[in-house]
Every structure is written in structure tokens, then in C-alpha cells.
Amino acid sequence: MYGMPIIRLMDPVLFLAFVATLLSLLHMIAPDHWMPLSALALKNSIDRKRVNLIAFILGLLHGITSTALALMVVFFGIYAFGTAEIRVVSVTIILVVAAFILINSFREAHRKSGIESSSLAVSVFPDPAFLPILVAAAAYGNLILSTISILFVFSSATFLLVVVILVNMGLMKALQKVSPVAVDRIIVMTLLLTGLYIYIYG
């Protein structure tokens, strides 16, 4: 009886769902996702309802593009390697993506242009961090793959909407001080821990 919660926490599918949700939250908290929209809304006096709608749509598009990129890799990977090596492939992709994000974070640290001047397109660009999660989910069948994809898409949209609402209400001013570089490095650590988990329990 006392072992059940531990077993559930160690379930790989639930773990992947948790990581997918966590990654969407971390990305939406980063100022480079919500600050350009807030700056644009302030500059053009856009009402809050419209800003909220734009935020939800941007988050939705971000989730869709990230999922589309990941699904293409998944289907190519299954076609090329089959499902037998999916665990090794997913861990390898995690290491590659983590290295890419880490290297990019060093580049971002030296960027001089302000986040406020960034294009809204930044919020729509696909997130490579979700790629290995979906590759790992492919090992558990199409239902799990679809469920985690949908979860990530709507988590991204919901979290960006919530963040924008709270920022515009003045309740999360501290987020303006959050460095996208710091968020990227947290994501790298999350991916590495996920890779370790998949390798051991996947």
C-alpha cells in the first residue's frame, strides 16, 4: 500500500507527461516569450482581452510547431531505426539538444539587443527541448504519443496566457528580471535528468 505512490511516480509515461508540462511552463516564464507581446501591447494601446487572445494563440502556435518538428523526427527515427532502439535514440537526442541549448545560452548571454525589441515570431519558433520527450514517448504507442503532444500544445498556450495576464495585472514583476539564459540552463538540467531517467527506467 505504501509503495504505490512511489511506483506511480516512477511510471515513465507519467514522468514524460510531467516533463512536457514543466518544459512548457519554463519556456513561457522566460521573458523572451511574453515581454515582446507586453511591450507591443503597451506601445499600441491594445486592450487586455485582445492581448490575452494573442498570447493564447502564440502559445498554441509555439506548441504546434514544436510538436510538428518533433513528430517529423519521431517518424523518421522509427522508419530509420525501428522501435527497438528508441530508448537509446531518445537519450542521444536529449544529449544533442541539451548541448545545443547550452551553447545557444552562451550566445544569448552576449546578445546586446533588448528582449522588448524581439519579434513576436520568437514565441512561435519550435522548441527543440520537446523533441527528445516526444521521441521517448513514441516507445509507448500512438495514444501516449498523441496525448503528450496535445498536453504540450495546450500547456504552452495556457501557461503563456496565464503569465501574460498576471504580468499585466502587475502580480509577476519579478519575471522581468528572469534571464532567458538562466531558464535555458534550467531546461538543460531538466533534459539531462530526463535522459538519465529514461536510460534507467524507460
Please give the full DSSP string across 99-153, using - where no structure is assigned.
Answer: HHHHHHHHHHHT--S-GGGS-GGGGTS--GGGHHHHHHHGGG-HHHHHHHHHHHH
Residues of the chain with pLDDT under 50: 1-8, 114-118
Q: Cell numbers at residue 24, please?
A: 512548457
Give the pTM.
0.73
Residue 34 burial (10 A CB sphere; 0-12, 13-18, 19+): buried
Each residue's pLDDT tens digit, 159-183: 989 888 888 777 656 665 666 677 7
| Sequence-distant (≥ 6) Cβ neighbours of residue 152 within 8 angstroms | 20, 21, 23, 24, 63, 66, 67, 130, 133, 134
Find the farthest-apart pair of alpha carbons in the chain and give their distance in angstroms, rounded: 58
Rounded CA-CA distance 59/127 in Å is 11
Q: What sign for the dihedral angle of Cα 28, 31, 33, 37?
A: positive
Each residue's pLDDT tens digit, 126-144: 777 888 888 888 888 889 9
Of 53, 73, 49, nearest in space to 132 by CA: 73
Stated length of the chain: 202
pLDDT for 55 = 87
